[in-house]
Amino acid sequence: MKRLRLLGRAMLLLALAAALPARANDLPDSCWSETAASNTCVVPNGLPANTLAANLYGVIHEIMGALKRDWDRVNPTVSSAGTNTITLSYAVAPAAYIQGDTFSFIAGGTNTGAATLNVNGLGAKAITKRGTTALTGNEILSGEAVIVQYDGTEFQLVSVGAGNSAFTGGALTGLLSEAKGADIASAATTNLCGATGNFVHITGTTTITSLGSCQAGTRIVAEFTGALTLTYNATSLIVPGAANIVTKAGDTMTAVSEGSGNWRVVQYSSTSNLAVVSITRQTFTSSGTYTPHAGMLYCLVRLQAPGGGSGGVAAGNSTGLGATAGGGAGGYGERLLTAAQVGASQTVTIGAQGTAGASGANAGGPGGTTSFGTLLSATGGGGSAGLTPAAATNVANGGAAGTATNSDINIQSQAGGYGWSGASNTSIAYGGDGPGSPIFGGAVRSKPIVTSGNSQPGVAGGNYGAGAAGASSYGTAGAQAGGAGGPGIVDIIEFNSQ
């Protein structure tokens, strides 16, 4: 009988043990209570009254397992996978996400924007900062210990990463030592948002059109190690001078993100713009290529287009007089340009001076257009018409004045002077004046004719850009040629740092 009772008890214990769950629920389960007397769920998640002593071993083991699982999750015992789509995998998976769950891990990558977390395949949930604000990049750094807590909807980032810290005010009582980040290679999009410190070197010579997209207010100080073009954009890359900047080794800039991929360079310091230490000049009287002086900071380009030629006059007769008008002066312009606007070089084009009208009633030629790349240009003066003497009063119109385009100042050139001749051999004839350049002068005048049988050729323009004076013939005098316009010139004054 005693043996039967012992056998019955053994069978009962085995039955009870077989009825125990495979493991206790995790600590967030409702069976785990802060009030000791309330931990009365069915073993191993509690100890109801009259629990058999044999069950205590299983309960204790399960408590130890639950505590260890909790410890593994709230401490960085695992590494994540992914950068913006982050996953975690524990040996024992949580049954579900429960509000208040805390997970800590070693980041396996650096996020570049909004991110999600998926724990053991329970589903991806957004990771946010400061409440419900989505991540923008660099809040989670590769190799960093990260802590997140589930708020019932998403995971809130608790740990402080590079892009998650915020100073809300107060006084710093010690030195603020900002980190020197790794070098960043120049590219069309040179991503400063991926900088690992607030001071970086930008290497290479690739033209930069964008600095990446990150949180507004991000401030980066960068030093360039070589020559490249920092491309101005009125919205996305605002730089001092509102023009492209050609960098030099040692140049530095401070750039501040305005958000949505827009940046403003609030300070640019060049190794060559500390002071003007020399002034040089390059002058072109024929077409060629302008290459700036070493260390050129800015230059004043003065451009004078050539003058127009005057027309020729045909041979007269016993009663006829004739005089041609003057050629027009060429257009003049000047412009102050920065080194960035000029770039590595500019093509200089010197237009042909207006040709003299051949002897006889032949027109003078116009001056050709003169230009400094596409940055400044001016048209040449117009030529005047040829003329055949006649027994009638005649007033001939002068060649048109040239005009400048893209000039900082507008100095108006003059048209050629009127040619005039009377109606009979008792009158006079004189060719029209050739106007001078507004800067270089060179005006010329044709000698009047008062005696029949005399004639005068045209007079060439007296200096750069001047128009020619007209020709004249009186009575039986022979034909005369007009005059040639003055030549063109481009004069460049350079202000240099060396």
pLDDT in tens, the chain (498 residues): 544 444 444 454 444 444 444 555 666 777 766 575 666 777 777 667 666 655 666 667 677 777 888 888 889 999 999 999 999 999 899 989 999 899 999 999 999 999 999 999 999 999 999 888 899 888 899 999 999 999 999 999 987 664 445 555 666 666 667 778 899 999 999 999 989 889 999 999 999 999 999 889 999 999 999 999 999 999 999 998 788 888 989 999 999 999 999 999 999 988 765 567 789 999 999 999 999 998 888 999 999 999 999 999 998 776 778 899 999 999 999 999 999 899 999 999 999 999 999 999 999 999 999 999 999 999 999 999 999 888 788 899 999 999 999 999 878 899 999 998 887 666 788 899 999 999 999 999 988 887 778 889 999 999 999 999 999 988 778 899 999 999 999 999 999 876
Query: Which two tokens mark 276?
Result: 């003007």
C-alpha span between 497 and 293 (Å, rounded): 10
Tell me if the pTM is above 0.75.
no
Least Cα distance to 385 among 322, 329, 313, 311 occurs for 311
Protein fold of 184-269: Jelly Rolls (2.60.120)
59-65, long-range: CB < 8 A, 24+ apart:
59/24, 62/23, 62/24, 63/24, 65/23, 65/24, 65/92
Locate 329 and state its tokens.
């002066």
CATH 2.60.120 in the chain: give the residue spans.
Answer: 184-269
How far apart are alpha carbons 451 and 279 in whole angstroms?
A: 55
Buried/exposed 468-487: b ≥16 CB within 10 Å, e otherwise: bbbbbbbbbbebbbbbbbbb
